[in-house]
A and B are shown apart, each in its own frame.
Chain A
């Protein structure tokens, strides 16, 4: 039964069950110490890791997140076990890098990745809901580009060692963090970001990674498949994630329908919509939301590695230059980043169409 469950992760029920599992683990991490609605947020985790690696100096947003390292290792092991680890790339790595930069900046302006948009909505946040609507609108806007022949160059097989760099780096960083502050403290001084206990975070990250790799969990991808191919199986996972997270919040008394009292959020609905719209549109062009890019990068996709590198670099830039939003609102630099992202993705979408 269990074997069959994991052997056919593409069935709607299995994907819904995995979506529910993701939501439960995310809620548990928030309850155990992660910031509100940040049990699973690829962009926040990248910002924290960027700080821990010295790419920005804001201690309150710095922490070598075991969740992110766990996602990388979990995806790697799952792909390896399923014989899906294949090193490939060459489909416009520069586009992926720049795309990664704008995806992260869009997430920072909204304050969270598409998965966090689900978690914020599940907590009752009106801005989260508007961001989710923007995300869906952005994905739908990308559909005509796909139908009109948008395509990147075909990926080609590349030497295997190149695909092992990211999982190896994640393993060493996880080892360094788990070995304690003693030896590695001068290298990774830690950080002050709120977090759940290390072992729980690492274990949850491994589950997120392995389940994410097997299920192809991707919020933007699920909307695209539903709109483009009328395939609602991945959508079942996304809907189950939202439903289970909402249920947990209602049962635990955390659910609070609000515009002005959403923890850590700003109240600028227009820019929340535009930022997540840009993320939704861009995620379709680069073939995956930030979480999916991390998972793909861990399974040997070097274009996704370029996207993750872009996101990591953007995380440092965003905090250093105040591009990301805060409860005070959206900054002028953040608005420029969103508009720049729209220009970049639309121009790329137009330029990379091929004769259908």
Chain B
């Protein structure tokens, strides 16, 4: 009766299993490569605090793109920067600034480039939601 039944379903299922296994191999290999590159690069990495300092400096220069790039790096290294419950929280003033920057970039009032909007959006997503 159904198109997908019996042998056809078995063949489709086997093909999908093979496809998933091949994709897993590829993800596994690329994951190991990425992990190795990250592990090799961590020695010279700056701390979250260093990145916040660099971001503030870039902000003073008026270079919003560089500032957001450093804020993003800080948040990636230590997500507590944008966690209201943490003593390391960058503060409500930063939260307000971030919202203003995003609104400005979206409306075109602030021209900082697509990478800056992506960085700001990442920090925004990180600040709210999640499982805890």
Contacts and interface: CB of A to CB of B under 8 A. Distances in A.
Contacts of B9: 144-145, 148, 350
Given A336-B28, A347-B17, A265 B129 contact: yes
Given A43-B131, A339-B27, A350 B13 contact: yes
Contacts of B89: none
Contacts of B24: 335-336, 339-340, 343
Interface string A320-340: 000010111001110110011
B97 to A, nearest CB: 16
Interface string B114-132: 0001100110111111111
Given A263-B128, A332-B35, A336-B28, A147 B118 contact: no
Contact of B131 (A48, A262, A336, A346): A48
Interface in B80-94: 83, 85
Contact of A260 (B30, B121, B127, B130): B121
Contacts of A35: 128-132
A47 interface: yes
> What interface size band does chain A fall in?
35 or more
Nearest to A37: B129
Nearest to A116: B131
Interface in A209-261: 260-261
Contact residues of B: prevailing secondary structure = helix
A16 to B, nearest CB: 28
B17 A261 contact: no
Contact of B2 (A36, A38, A48, A147): A147
Contacts of B35: 332
A148 B10 CA distance: 10
Interface residues of B, number: 39
Contacts of B31: 331-333, 335-336
B24 to A, nearest CB: 4
A111 B125 CA distance: 12
B4 interface: yes
23 contacts: A37-B129, A43-B131, A47-B132, A48-B132, A60-B132, A61-B131, A148-B2, A148-B9, A260-B118, A261-B102, A262-B125, A265-B125, A266-B125, A327-B125, A328-B126, A331-B31, A332-B35, A335-B23, A339-B23, A340-B20, A342-B16, A343-B17, A350-B14
Interface of B: 2, 4-6, 9-10, 13-14, 16-17, 20-21, 23-24, 27-28, 30-32, 34-35, 76, 79, 83, 85, 102, 117-118, 121-122, 124-132
